[in-house]
Amino acid sequence: MRVASFACVASFSFALLSFVSLVPLIGCPAPPKQVGDVSSENAPSRNDETPKWEGAVSPEPPKPSAAGGSSGTSEAPARRSDQYDREGTEVVLKRAARQAKDNCGAAKGDDGKASGPWGKLTVQVQLGSNGHSKGITVPSPFQGKPSGNCVEKAFASLTYPPWGGADAQVDWEVELVQPRDTHKK
């Protein structure tokens, strides 16, 4: 009798599993399509190189000119990997100079007063090829003064795109603005 009940349970389990596996195919609606969902009915054929979207234009390969060059389009020249990226580095240097202009003119000494000097100065920034500044030289009379020390800190830990060549040195102009004296009588 145990064998018969086991066979009954086994056939019932098989029937239940068969029914459960068919329910999604028969009784449940398909899930809604998501934006960008590619179904088999809209899938590109093997002959299509790229998927077609509304308003899309297939790219045309560049046509070589008679001289063997490019088609005259305004392509940017390839960036040299042995020189620093001037545009990327200038963004970082401008940010540091702006920070120095906004803050370093008001740098205070041991006496608690902003004593300058103020004005324009040209600093020399050592750009490491690893993408990090290696040092800065502040000229006299700013060197060793609170405002000059502030400029050094502004340029001390710059990060910019690295390159494969030798380290470089850049001269960069910075302006230190004298703070307004709010305690005038």
Per-residue pLDDT of 130-182, as tens digits, reads 999 999 999 999 999 999 999 999 999 999 999 888 999 999 999 999 988 74
Q: Identify whether the C-beta of residue 155 lies closer than 8 Å to the C-beta of residue 136.
A: yes
**Tell me, what amino acid is at 160?**
Y
**Does residue 134 belong to any structural domain of this protein?**
yes
Q: What is the mean pLDDT of the chain?
A: 74
**Does residue 170 belong to any structural domain of this protein?**
yes
Q: Output the pLDDT for position 133.
A: 93
Range of the domain at 148: 86-107+120-176
- Give start and end residues of each alpha helix (H) in the chain: 2-26, 86-103, 146-156
Q: Output the pLDDT for position 141.
A: 94
**Does residue 181 belong to any structural domain of this protein?**
no
In this model, does residue 112 exceed pLDDT 50?
yes
Question: At a CB cut-off of 8 Å and minimum separation 6, what does 173 contact?
Answer: 97, 120, 121, 122
What is the total count of domains within the chain?
1
Question: At a CB cut-off of 8 Å and minimum separation 6, what does 59 contact?
Answer: 50
**Does residue 32 belong to any structural domain of this protein?**
no
**Does residue 154 belong to any structural domain of this protein?**
yes
Higher pLDDT, 5 or 131: 131
Closest CA to 96 of 64, 61, 133, 65: 133
**Does residue 171 belong to any structural domain of this protein?**
yes
Total residue count of the chain as it appears in this document: 185
Residues 8-41: tens digit of each pLDDT: 445 555 554 455 455 455 555 555 555 555 554 5
**Tell me, what amino acid is at 176?**
L
**Does residue 10 belong to any structural domain of this protein?**
no
**Does residue 21 belong to any structural domain of this protein?**
no
